[in-house]
Amino acid sequence: MKKRLILISNRLPFNIIEKDGKIDFVPSAGGLVSSIKSYVEKSKTLTDLSAIEPPLWIGTADVSEERFMKLHETGNLYHDDFELSPVFIPPAMYDKYYNGFCNDTIWPLFHYFPSYAKFPDEYFTNYVQANNIFCDKVLKVYKPGDIIWVHDYHLLLLPGLLRKHLPDAAIGFFLHIPFPSFELFRLIPSKWRKELLSGLLGADLVGFHTNDYVQHFLKSIREILGYDNTLRVISTPDRSVTVDTFPISIDFSKFNKASTDVQICSEKSIIKEGLHNVKVIISVDRLDYAKGLVNRLESFEFFLEKYPLHRANVTYVLLVVPSRDIITKYAETKKEIEGLVSRINGKYGTLGWTPIIYQYKPLDFKKLAGLYLAADVALITPMRDGMNLVAKEFIATRADKRGVLILAETAGASSELGEAILVNPTDHQEIADAIALSLDMPIEEQIKRNETMQQRLREYDVMKWAEDFLTQLDQKKLKQEKLKVKIVNEVIQNQILERYEKAANRLILLDYDGTLAPIAALPHLAIPDAELLSLIKMLSSDEKNEVVLISGRPVNVLENWFGNLNVNLVAEHGAFYKKRDARWLQTVQVNADWKSEVMQVLQLFTERCPGSFVEEKALSLAWHYRNAGKDLGFLRSRELINSLVEISSHLNFQVIEGNKVIETRARGVDKGSAASIWLKQKKYSFILGIGDDKTDEDLFRVIPPTEYSIRVGLAQSVSRFNLKHQKDVIALLHKLINSSVDLLID
């Protein structure tokens, strides 16, 4: 089957322009566009990707639906690199969705400008509707086997919406802007933030530029949705989602070759000569308060003040690309920039020298590359930036390895470009000193720094970035495929029954709550009923069977319920055990001196969370919150985990999260070690272990891979198989008993 890539971003990567009755596609500027376009251009030359159909790009077009349909009749909606599929969002909705929720709510918040963020209901309502329009479009064109790659903060809900209709599709999501710390993300109204995060978890793979963004996202998922992760794999009740870093890059060779282009070199000379060969500082940014332009200009002013000898010997070329200027904060920023430029030029300029040359318009590629080549210093100081491609492009363009990059430590690119002069974008003094240092930096040092950065950018270019993301998505799907066949279907069940029937001796290890009995509101309500007791009795009365009930329950409860059955018992997650007809023993010698301190913490949380309660056992303590208010219980459970993890570093206990319960137990105790008591005593020809939560994972680990470990529910597990529901366990056990009865009758 041919695989086709479907890219989805808010806008199509082209402006559609009508000329002489024909459609012309003009590539639009912007990080995402330049990266994907280069990737697609290059991928056409690679044999392993040639099997891929031309990618399809879905996004809004910059013409109305009516106009587009007219143009479409005369033009072909196929571009050299992609097939294009436009989405039409009614203008009023687009305004609330794009200028509203995207750029007046998410953008400021995710760039650490919370006071700029607005939260009117209509923004979010329109954001949901616009995401639904995108979803309908994708569903119309989707073919099985297609790979869906959703881009950026405009479409946070889309993966979740698509997942409802396409349960098996490969869906990737990449965020181009920072993911903020939990303290900022939580400022989004509760209902929206849950929807946004659940939307993202509709993807199989979620990518960010840096490790910090990944950590922030994982914390928000843990705190808001309650899903934990193991090595960046989040387990939700029915699927798993991988989260990873993919620092976006540039088409290195395109920029690195620029200095061999005659026209680009002549652009460079025009700039140099026009500025009378003084030293040149440049910056290139979209108009945006997050790009730190105001602070940067103030720092440049401070530099001119502090270093008067540099005056008249240096000019700052400030290129600002028009963007979102109908949004108030953007228009205000533009005004502020223009005010500062004229103030600085008025204050320091002379008849023969203008300190700042300001342009508010885009340049074509050759002019842009010429500017990079003309620069002695690139001054890139965003307050926050997901990555910042301009910094990377500047370094790549300088084949002569000259020029100095001053970069804000708050740009994602700073994690990869450590040889730049890194500055705090709010610190005027530091930036002014960095400018002076750069202007005086010896050539050898410039070359040394740039060589190292170029090497890194050459090795991980935009092509590698996209390939890396798509390969990981592919691998994730393969893993999920494997996980899928883990459900105990009829074939596997027959295999289990056959092995069971043939076995001379069998070990059957069973968890209790959530496995043999459904989870009840209060622990004492989960009493085994007559049917279950008779099932266990029959199972254990077969002399070939060694049945062990391995539970987190205390000794007295298990003794009370099962003491009169011919069955082995393990209590408190493995702390105590009792062999058939023997007495209770402690598995390992551990002490409980941590309990009193932990108990104090648990009692405090019980007081702060009505409905929650503490269950005390000999070597463990459990804080149950299933009867507490849903939101408060959850919130307190997160706080409790944090408090316990902190004190567990100096006390001898571990913290385990179960189903609406936080358990603490002595270190060195687990169900796996307890199961080993039986596993070591004999060679069994059939082993079955069933459990439903995290504490059972230790049990699954000690069961040999050729035997049967089964986790109840669909969470990712080290078990060999999964059963969907607790009642399926009872059905399976009945089948085992009946098969041996059948055998006896035969």
For residue 194, the minimal CB distance to ligand GDG (Å) is: 25
In the complex with ligand GDG, the residue whose CB is nearer, 129 or 215, is 215
Contacts 24+ apart (CB under 8 A), 295-299: 295/381, 295/383, 295/425, 295/426, 295/428, 295/431, 296/379, 296/381, 296/425, 296/431, 297/337, 297/340, 297/341, 297/344, 297/356, 298/340, 298/428, 299/381, 299/427, 299/428, 299/431, 299/432, 299/435
In the complex with ligand GDG, the residue whose CB is nearer, 285 or 301, is 285
Q: Where are the alpha helices (DSSP H) in 201-327?
A: 211-220, 252-256, 262-274, 293-306
In the complex with ligand GDG, the residue whose CB is nearer, 130 or 396, is 396
**Helix 630-648 vs helix 595-608: crossing angle, to nearest 10:** 160
C-alpha distances in Å from residue 80, one per residue of 22, 40, 365: 16, 10, 19
Please name which of 705, 745, 744 lies closest in space to residue 721, comparing C-alpha atoms.
705
For residue 293, the minimal CB distance to ligand GDG (Å) is: 13
| CA dist., res. 677 & res. 575, Å (int) | 12
Residue 466's Cα: distance from chain center in Å?
16
Looking at this protein, which amino acid is placed at residue 127?
Y
In the complex with ligand GDG, the residue whose CB is nearer, 321 or 399, is 321
**H or E, element range at 244:** strand 240-245
81 counts as catalytic: no
For residue 103, the minimal CB distance to ligand GDG (Å) is: 12
| CA dist., res. 667 & res. 705, Å (int) | 26
Are the C-beta atoms of 620 and 664 separated by less than 8 Å?
yes
| CA dist., res. 458 & res. 395, Å (int) | 11
Query: From the CB of residue 698, how many other CB atoms can be counted at a distance below 10 Å?
Result: 21
| CA dist., res. 479 & res. 17, Å (int) | 44
| CA dist., res. 30 & res. 13, Å (int) | 9
Of all residues in this chain, which one has the CB nearest to ligand GDG in the complex? 31
Are the C-beta atoms of 162 and 135 separated by less than 8 Å?
yes
For residue 412, the minimal CB distance to ligand GDG (Å) is: 6
| CA dist., res. 101 & res. 193, Å (int) | 13
In the complex with ligand GDG, the residue whose CB is nearer, 56 or 282, is 282
For residue 234, the minimal CB distance to ligand GDG (Å) is: 23
For residue 9, the minimal CB distance to ligand GDG (Å) is: 10
Beta carbons within 8 Å of 328's beta carbon, 6+ residues apart: none
Longest dimension (CA), the chain: 111
In the complex with ligand GDG, the residue whose CB is nearer, 30 or 528, is 30
For residue 358, the minimal CB distance to ligand GDG (Å) is: 14
In the complex with ligand GDG, the residue whose CB is nearer, 174 or 227, is 174
DSSP string, 220-241: HIIIII---EETTEEEPSS-EE
Are the C-beta atoms of 371 and 271 separated by less than 8 Å?
yes
Catalytic residue among 251, 288, 511, 696: 511
Beta carbons within 8 Å of 593's beta carbon, 6+ residues apart: 652
For residue 394, the minimal CB distance to ligand GDG (Å) is: 9
For residue 55, the minimal CB distance to ligand GDG (Å) is: 18
Sites of contact with ligand GDG (CB under 6 A) = 29-32, 34, 176-177, 248, 284, 286, 321, 362-365, 368, 385-390, 393
In the complex with ligand GDG, the residue whose CB is nearer, 154 or 553, is 154
In the complex with ligand GDG, the residue whose CB is nearer, 31 or 658, is 31
| Residues acting as catalytic residues | 511
